[in-house]
Structure 1
């Protein structure tokens, strides 16, 4: 495995290299130099509080500290039709993802990772919120979000929240998080897929590049999500 040192990550991820925005090659421009990180490229996080085990998980997840002090917020509609803002989760760690309710490619894998992370958190899950924002402007209804959540076991999680809104509202959130979305009215939406780990004040602590995984790798991602969501507190 090749190891690339990454001291920081820019807050605006690049466009995806493949459908669903996962896998392929990820490029960052950091400190005037180009750093390329792919599935086979490890990441060294320069954080003295991170143990070797946590560093291994960070390598698997392509996770790095988030650079900047931006406090993220939005106001959208959850899958139950209730208006909520991201600031409603202040005091908790928040894991933010971007998902297509009609996706048959990557989003179901993300769902499995979150379900597994919730199990690994146990009682600590009450201090963590899993939040997803819709990336499919052709399927914006709350009913479609509920169906996706039910189909993939997410509706069983007490800390799961799936948000949607008008196309203009969603685009504003995508832009705020630096998410690239290529609409597709007849198939899977092409979009970048990142996990943002927010602290209790809404400020991003870590960001991870999602990747196509299966089997035991999903468990490793679940463990990593659980670990770094708690470290973000």
Structure 2
């Protein structure tokens, strides 16, 4: 059996795609630690690059990989439900700051979607591209469902999701120093609201308080976007 035949045989089993994904994840975490955890190069980005390289090296089409990796995608459902845990854990913060959150969250979450859509629209992007960018600041389990609902490309959305999370993790710290913001609650909430899971991981590296508020921002942004974005998309007629 030649190399191509061996790859085809292995790719026929979903375990091959799962194994490639786990291998990329493990190696990425090792490299991330050895590189001293740079904010601009999170482990998830390293893993994505490693996985893309392995697929190219093996000559395995992305469609076949994704078909095998569907077993991992199924776990996104429980992950969505699990977002209720950080919300429950942050109930004291929600009660104490509910007025501030009620004002800040809708504005910030809406802007997170609108600035990307506005830039893409000004550059002449078609409707399907706009639909793929709309949920790029929301955690993946929710963003996938929202993107499918409004007719976007999940693959393109995941790419935008990765870029958004990495940019948020890299630039929030310098922006906070420039604006002289030292409150870890604000920094953490910003990381979670704009950078979803990647930003939340970065926030926990800063402090437990920042991580707690990042979890709160990520969860509330996901819920707000899941409820409001499909409705807004239909109201403005972008989905037609």
TMscore range, shorter length: under 0.3
- The TM-score with structure 2 as length reference comes to 0.25
- The TM-score with structure 1 as length reference comes to 0.26
Q: Which has the higher strand share?
A: 1
Q: Which protein has the larger Cα radius of gyration, Structure 1 or Structure 2?
A: 2
